[in-house]
Amino acid sequence: MTEWLKVDRKIHDFSIEKEFIGTFLDLVPSLKFEGKHDILLKNEAGQEILVFGKTALVGKFKGMQPITKVKIVALGEKTGKKSKMDYQDFDVYVEK
């Protein structure tokens, strides 16, 4: 008989917690329609965490190697210089 393990990924909400520290695992197909990718991370407790793929954030992870230690800081809403549209901005740091 086959045994199954439940996949339980928590979603990080930057409106509640402005900073996330953990390990980048991969860009995965998006669960929402905001972008093409979501970001799969592992927090310091070892839990898999999903961050919905805001365009301004996903671009900072393209080309990043898996298993990179990262810190993400939500900067809040900004207005695009050319588009004049509001978007969520983030700073992303990697461990030296």
Q: How many residues does the chain have?
A: 96
pLDDT tens per residue, range 39-84: 999 999 999 999 988 888 999 999 999 999 999 999 999 998 888 9
* Lowest model confidence (mean pLDDT) among 7-11, 22-26, 81-85, 87-91: 7-11
Q: Residue 55 — φ and ψ, nearest 5°?
A: -55, -45
Q: How far apart are CA 42 and CA 21, in angstroms?
A: 9
* Global pTM exceeds 0.75: yes
Question: CB burial class (10 A; 0-12, 13-18, 19+) of residue 50?
Answer: middle
Which has the higher per-residue pLDDT, 86 or 9?
Answer: 86
Which has the higher per-residue pLDDT, 5 or 51?
Answer: 51
Domains of the chain: 14-94 (2.40.50)
Number of H helices, E strands in the chain: 1, 6
